[in-house]
Amino acid sequence: MKKLIECIIQKRNPHFRFDEKLNTSALLQFVWIQVWSVLRSVTLLLSFKKPKMALLGKGVKLFNTPKINFGKFMKLGDHVYLSALATEGIVLGDNVGIGAFSRVIVSTSLNNLGSYIKIGNNVGIGEYAYLGGAGGLQIGDDCIIGQYFSCHPENHIYDNPESLIRHQGTTRKGISIGPNCWIGSKVTVLDGVEIGSGCVIAAGAVVTRSFPPNSIIGGVPARLIKKREQKFQLTRSA
């Protein structure tokens, strides 16, 4: 039975292997949860969406479903909320997983729609994430992202001290995160930031500026700690 279930999971993740110490009780409970997740995905047919073997947790909600597009094996944890109130919408690639209680919200205003949120293939995002898309948010393939991750591609204008800040409007530049990044828990990324491919961002960092590929980043505000290829270059030159 374990081998059969392993083969099924490998359709989504070819590298998956059960730990040899996994007990039968935990395995059966896991299977029960996944079966119900698959059954919930059938409700996507009511929104004229093909389930594509999606796994939906309890309390998942989608808003403006015509502008939500997803690939195979999407996995949304309990109480995830996707809102595609946008000019372009939300696009999720194959094998995207979003942790429980996360919010993926392009915009909240009916008078100033946001742009888009695009998440590539094989991206895993931990619980309690908040992804905004007002100025556009793109996350590349194969990124692994910890809990409480937040992206805010919009800023409030506050230059005029004689006027309420909420009446001064916003600026939107967008956020771009390259493929193959590892982003730790409680990382915040602000508007206008571009993160290159292969970057590692330490837990708790607040990223306010852009970084090139293969950067290791940390701190508040985030700064460059070192480059990932540095050790290789030193060894080669020696």
> Which amino acids are annotated catalytic?
156
State the Cα–Cα distance between residues 64 and 92, nearest whole angstrom.
Answer: 15
Specify burial of residue 133 (Cβ count, 10 A radius: 0-12, 13-18, 19+). Answer: buried
How far apart CA 187 and CA 173 sit, in angstroms, is: 19
Residue for token pair 């730790």: 184
- Angstrom distance (rounded) from CA 128 to CA 150: 9
Label residue 167 left, alpha or beta by phi (over 0 means left) and psi (-120 to 50 means alpha): alpha
Using the structure block, give the residue that is written with the tokens 């460059």.
Answer: 224
Helix (H, G, I), strand (E, B) or coil at 231: helix
Instruction: Specify burial of residue 94 (Cβ count, 10 A radius: 0-12, 13-18, 19+).
Output: middle
Q: How far apart are CA 31 and CA 205, in angstroms?
A: 36
User: Which regions of 161-205 does DSSP assign to beta strands (E)?
Assistant: 170-171, 175-177, 182-183, 188-190, 194-195, 200-201
